[in-house]
Structure 1
Amino acid sequence: MNVAVLALDGVLPFELSIPGQVFGAANEVASLEHYRIQVCAPHRTVTTSSGHGSFHIQLQHGLEAVAQADTIIIPAHADFLDTPPAPVTLALRAAAQRGARLASICVGAFTLTATGLLDGQRATTHWQHAHELSRRHPQVEIDSNVLFIDNGAVLTSAGVAAGLDLCLHLVHQDLGADMAAATARATVMPLQRDGGQAQFIEHTWPATTGTSTLESTMRWMSANVHRALTLQDIAEHAALSVRSLNRHFRAQTGTTPQQWLLRHRIRHAQRLLETTDLSVEKIADSSGFGTAVTLRHHFARIIGTSPLAYRAAFRSQ
């Protein structure tokens, strides 16, 4: 199987090397060349991102490698917000038309989405840039919580290391579960990580603008996540009716008071899991969930993994 890794100027060095690492490891494990990996660029030269250790690369292959590939991988590059070069977009569309499989790593999704091949489908990218991708391409359903999305012929993955998950997934598709597991062991990573991208998202304090701000009420809610706050309690603190509270809250935060409070309860639980040895039961109580069962339910639904699995991954040493 021919794999073309498309390097555009400003490509991130680590992400450029991910496909070669995973597919190359699969070849080594099998002692067979299942994958023929070719790194290519429109002009056969590329300079990597200056912010990630800039160096100049001379490549053996141009876009003809895309025309011959069974699978095309598009890593992130620094100028991902710019319109992709027309020859690149045309080459990717032509590859899709002849049945090639296309996959992006991190913000490589911007290049892939610009082809129109994801219109009407789901896609993901690094959570920090998911909103911008959705704004630019409203015809694509952007899911920032998952590690990768497989639409069959077109796949996208989340930030950086999710490219490893995606490439292992492709090995699983191509060569089966045993070979994927052996490749994962060779690259010293799990075959499938618990949870999704949601566990890595940093939730910033919501912007509050205008003459009627709910900032003081939101700070009060954040300081009282351990309490069983009702909608009426919140409305009374804000000196508003419940109806007005809901209207102002959605205008200023884009969500409801209950959902905003739930997210802060989850974030409080995450901090305790990261920094303390408290039991899940005690964390549930101090985060306002009441019971461990309730905490586990909401944690799995929002973060995509269990509290104990999250602690194992993020516990401060």
Structure 2
Amino acid sequence: MRIVVLALNAVFDTGLATVLDAFRTAGELAGPHAPFELTLAGVRAEVRSAQGLGVPVVPVESCGVPDLVIVPAIGYKMPEPLAQALASEEVRDAGLALRRWAEQGVRIAAPCIGAFVLAETGLLDGHEATCTWWLTPMFRERHPHVGLDARRMVVQSGQFVTAGAALGHLDLALWLIRQSSPELAALVARYLIVDARPSQSAYVISDHLLHHDPLVAGFDRWAREHLAKRFSLEAAAGALATSKRTLARRMADTLGKTPVEHVQDLRIERAVHLLRTSDSSVERIAEQVGYKDGATLRSLLRKRLGKGVRELRNPSFAHTTAIKNGPEGPFR
């Protein structure tokens, strides 16, 4: 598989290195018949990373038609400087290259803020995507025709794949390797000691997003106070002096989810906190966060976080198990 990694000036150092290291590790583990051939390219002759390091690139014009293009994040974490960077001629030139490749059927992957660069081309319109969780209000405002689900870590839609924040670069790389060989991806994950991160939800700092809308912030406070009770959208809207439709719309605009989904996230968040800070039974914790029984809570934790109660009560459990199993795991 021929892969072009398209690096722009101010490329996020960790993201770029993560992508390159993951595929290099895969190549080393695969042996003489490595399935990946990487080319580091740019739309400028000289590229420097966000930390000022030189990035050795070849011109995109020399890359032909690869099988896959990866667009690592550029290193801007806040909306204003990011907006300025997205308006640059370099990003526009990168967009021309991406559209040309897309028309030729090339798959394009963009993790973290790289999803903004890809979305600027219009290629993601009508598709599902994910991106850096704390910039979701900005993404929705700039790209209303993209179906954004920032809770997910990796989203494939047609020929495009996007991934979540920062180390979502690694989740994306492993996902791409998995398409070629699930066994190789599992081995790379073991060598790099990567835990499964099926969702960004566990990492989202809700307060960072809530301040964008007072109504949404009010709903969050109300939901936290009534977490142990059966949820009623009508009761919530009444308490906030608004309509159910308005509340649902404002939640979607700010957080990209329904009121019910936000309540479920809060319940999971509270349950994890109680599992790690108390010796209460799972049944008791389930009752405290509004679930009818422990079995329901166990199922949701596994589905949403990819972890069981034992792992959440003792975070070192999964790491200790991995050490005992060794890097070879199922390939022994």
For the aligned pair, the TM-score class normalised by the smaller chain equals 0.7 to 0.9
CA distance in 2, matches of 1:189, 1:116: 33
Are the equivalent residues in 2 in contact too, given 1:6–1:41 (CA < 8 A)? Answer: yes
Secondary structure (helix, strand or coil) at the match of 2:297 reads helix
Are the equivalent residues in 2 in contact too, given 1:123–1:156 (CA < 8 A)? Answer: yes
Q: How far off is 1:274 after superposition?
A: 3.6
Once structures 1 and 2 are overlaid, which stretch shifts more, 7-16 or 123-132?
Answer: 123-132
Question: Which residue number corresponds to residue 15 of structure 2?
Answer: 15
Question: Which residue number corresponds to residue 73 of structure 1?
Answer: 70
Please point out which of 177, 182, 187 is paired with 2:182.
177
Question: Which residue number corresponds to residue 114 of structure 1?
Answer: 120
Q: How far off is 1:151 after superposition?
A: 2.5
| Inter-CA distance 295–271: structure 2 relative to 1 (3 Å threshold) | same
Aligned residues: 300
Question: 1:213-241: per-residue Cα shift (whole Å, max 9, x none)?
Answer: 995x97566345345576798789x597x
Are the equivalent residues in 2 in contact too, given 1:22–1:167 (CA < 8 A)? Answer: yes
Identity %: 27
User: What letter matches 1:273 in structure 2?
Assistant: L
User: What letter matches 2:5 in structure 1?
Assistant: V
Are the equivalent residues in 1 in contact too, given 2:2–2:36 (CA < 8 A)? Answer: yes
Question: 1:231-257: per-residue Cα shift (whole Å, max 9, x none)?
Answer: 798789x597xxx67578668766887
User: What letter matches 1:73 in structure 2?
Assistant: I
User: What letter matches 2:270 in structure 1?
Assistant: H
Are the equivalent residues in 1 in contact too, given 2:47–2:57 (CA < 8 A)? Answer: no
CA distance in 2, matches of 1:257, 1:96: 36
CA distance in 2, matches of 1:256, 1:2: 40
Question: Which residue number corresponds to residue 164 of structure 1?
Answer: 170
Gaps of 5+ in 1: none
| Inter-CA distance 201–42: structure 2 relative to 1 (3 Å threshold) | same
Q: How far off is 1:111 after superposition?
A: 0.7
* Aligned: 1:99 with 2:105: yes
* Aligned: 1:201 with 2:209: no
| Inter-CA distance 66–96: structure 2 relative to 1 (3 Å threshold) | farther
| Inter-CA distance 314–7: structure 2 relative to 1 (3 Å threshold) | farther
CA distance in 2, matches of 1:106, 1:214: 25
Question: Which residue number corresponds to residue 222 of structure 1?
Answer: 224
* Aligned: 1:289 with 2:280: no
Are the equivalent residues in 1 in contact too, given 2:136–2:150 (CA < 8 A)? Answer: yes
Are the equivalent residues in 2 in contact too, given 1:280–1:307 (CA < 8 A)? Answer: no
User: What letter matches 2:191 in structure 1?
Assistant: A
Secondary structure (helix, strand or coil) at the match of 1:85 reads helix
Are the equivalent residues in 1 in contact too, given 2:127–2:158 (CA < 8 A)? Answer: no
Gaps of 5+ in 2: 77-81, 318-332
User: What letter matches 1:85 in structure 2?
Assistant: V
Larger helix percent: 2
Are the equivalent residues in 2 in contact too, given 1:104–1:155 (CA < 8 A)? Answer: yes
Please point out which of 277, 280, 287 is paired with 1:278.
280
Q: TM-score, length-normalised on structure 1?
A: 0.78
Are the equivalent residues in 1 in contact too, given 2:10–2:49 (CA < 8 A)? Answer: yes
Secondary structure (helix, strand or coil) at the match of 1:129 reads helix
CA distance in 2, matches of 1:289, 1:21: 43
Q: How far off is 1:260 after superposition?
A: 5.7
Show the 5 A alignment for 1:131-146: 131-146=137-152
| Inter-CA distance 214–312: structure 2 relative to 1 (3 Å threshold) | closer
Secondary structure (helix, strand or coil) at the match of 1:109 reads helix
Q: TM-score, length-normalised on structure 2?
A: 0.75
* Aligned: 1:27 with 2:5: no
| Inter-CA distance 271–111: structure 2 relative to 1 (3 Å threshold) | same
Find the structure with the greater CA-based Rg.
1
CA distance in 1, matches of 2:171, 2:289: 32
